[in-house]
Amino acid sequence: HYILGIDTSCDDTGVGIVELTPKGVHVRANRIWTQAVHAQYGGVMPELASREHVERIDGVMQGALAEAGLKVSDIGAVAATSGPGLVGALLVGLMYGKGLAQALGVPFFAAHHLEGHIFAAASEDNLPAPYLALVVSGGHTHLFDVPEEGKYILVGATRDDAAGEAFDKIARLAGLGYPGGPAIAEAALRGDANAVPFKEPLQGQKAFEFSFSGLKTAALLAHRAGAKPEDLAASFQRAAVHVLVKTTRRAAEAYGRQTVVVSGGVAANTALREAFSATNLRVVFPGKGLNTDNGAMIALAGAAALRAGRAPSPLAAGASAYAPLANG
């Protein structure tokens, strides 16, 4: 059984294909077109993103089929992100996915982008609930308790910037380039993590709340005082990793969970992976290429919906910019 997944929530056109077998799921293709048009504006221009998705999506899908060695008629189900994200961009993938499913006469699943990020880890593990999920991406720093398949209870979130956003902003101010996550990680290898002091507590007031704006201000002040970019990167990365791991550990203990899924773009960070691996938790990360936005993670979410026997989505399913995942 092959499931095709589409993500056009922001400025990446992603199409992936997974194979569902009785033993588990396997990623067979994962193709991404990253839009370069936005670089000149220093941020994503929504209307340009939509237009480029329209131009690219068919080619990206053909590429995914070729990578998997499949014909379009081999596809048994289609999933596409319906939110959250840029509405115009989402609509392109959603409509394309519905049209494809309709033409093939196969089930269609509208997928939640964050559920996609979480199910990216299903490339490495069958993800049997219960588990705790930490989504650390460009727009989210959210902890969910997943007591059973399909149920998401919000445990905590950031009250200001997302973790990935902090990596991006600090990289920009230190002149390390874009995207900031990989740039900070790379510069940190050459820096001294003790050079710039970041004060604790970094977490918010509520039990499992995060806050990254204080780190950003501290980084700005250190930068103005002449801190070396590499030292700033190493010190900030250590502080960010520390608060993410510490808060997640406390939440896992409070909710009685032994398994933690860590996903989203920041989950690609080696220092974060090492710190989580050093805990006594069972930690599951997405496989290579599945941390930042991609289509395979949406195909994995579709496969999970199929396996759980969820009803397909109506073709009237719409896109929404704001769509909380929590449902319990």
Residues binding ligand ATP (CB under 6 A): 10, 113, 117, 137-140, 164-165, 167-168, 179-182, 185, 264-266, 268-269, 292-293
DSSP category for residue 202: -
Q: For residue 3, what are its two tokens?
A: 């499931």
- C-alpha span between 60 and 32 (Å, rounded): 7
Instruction: Output the smallest distance, CB 182 to ligand ATP, in A.
Output: 5
Cα torsion for 60, 109, 163, 85, to the nearest 10°?
Answer: 70
Q: For residue 143, what are its two tokens?
A: 């902890």
Residue closer to ligand ATP by CB (options 115, 165) is 165
- C-alpha span between 260 and 281 (Å, rounded): 7
Residue closer to Fe ion by CB (options 107, 116) is 116
The item of ligand ATP, Fe ion, none sharing an interface with residue 182, based on CB under 5 to 8 Å by kind, is ligand ATP
Residue closer to ligand ATP by CB (options 168, 231) is 168
Instruction: Output the smallest distance, CB 271 to ligand ATP, in A.
Output: 8
Phi, psi angles (nearest 5°) of residue 59: -65, -40
Cα torsion for 59, 64, 65, 69, to the nearest 10°?
Answer: 140
Q: For residue 324, what are its two tokens?
A: 């909380």
Decide: residue 175, CB within 10 A, 0-12 exposed, 13-18 middle, 19+ buried.
Answer: exposed
The item of Fe ion, ligand ATP, none sharing an interface with residue 180, based on CB under 5 to 8 Å by kind, is ligand ATP
- C-alpha span between 39 and 296 (Å, rounded): 25
User: Do 7 and 17 touch, CB atoms closer than 8 A?
Assistant: no
Residue closer to Fe ion by CB (options 11, 293) is 293
Residue closer to Fe ion by CB (options 19, 293) is 293
User: Do 208 and 156 touch, CB atoms closer than 8 A?
Assistant: yes
The item of ligand ATP, Fe ion, none sharing an interface with residue 179, based on CB under 5 to 8 Å by kind, is ligand ATP
For Fe ion, the binding residues (CB under 5 A) are 137, 293
Instruction: Output the smallest distance, CB 12 to ligand ATP, in A.
Output: 7
Residue closer to ligand ATP by CB (options 144, 167) is 167
Residue closer to ligand ATP by CB (options 233, 252) is 233
User: Do 195 and 231 touch, CB atoms closer than 8 A?
Assistant: yes
Instruction: Output the smallest distance, CB 201 to Fe ion, in A.
Output: 27
Instruction: Output the smallest distance, CB 100 to Fe ion, in A.
Output: 22
The item of ligand ATP, Fe ion, none sharing an interface with residue 3, based on CB under 5 to 8 Å by kind, is none
The item of Fe ion, ligand ATP, none sharing an interface with residue 238, based on CB under 5 to 8 Å by kind, is none
The item of ligand ATP, Fe ion, none sharing an interface with residue 239, based on CB under 5 to 8 Å by kind, is none
Instruction: Output the smallest distance, CB 256 to ligand ATP, in A.
Output: 27
Residue pointed to by tokens 């999920």: 133
Instruction: Output the smallest distance, CB 112 to ligand ATP, in A.
Output: 11
Residue closer to ligand ATP by CB (options 65, 117) is 117
Instruction: Output the smallest distance, CB 311 to ligand ATP, in A.
Output: 26
Cβ density class 52-84: b for 16+ within 10 Å, e for less: bbbebbeebbebbbeebebeeeebebbbbbbbb
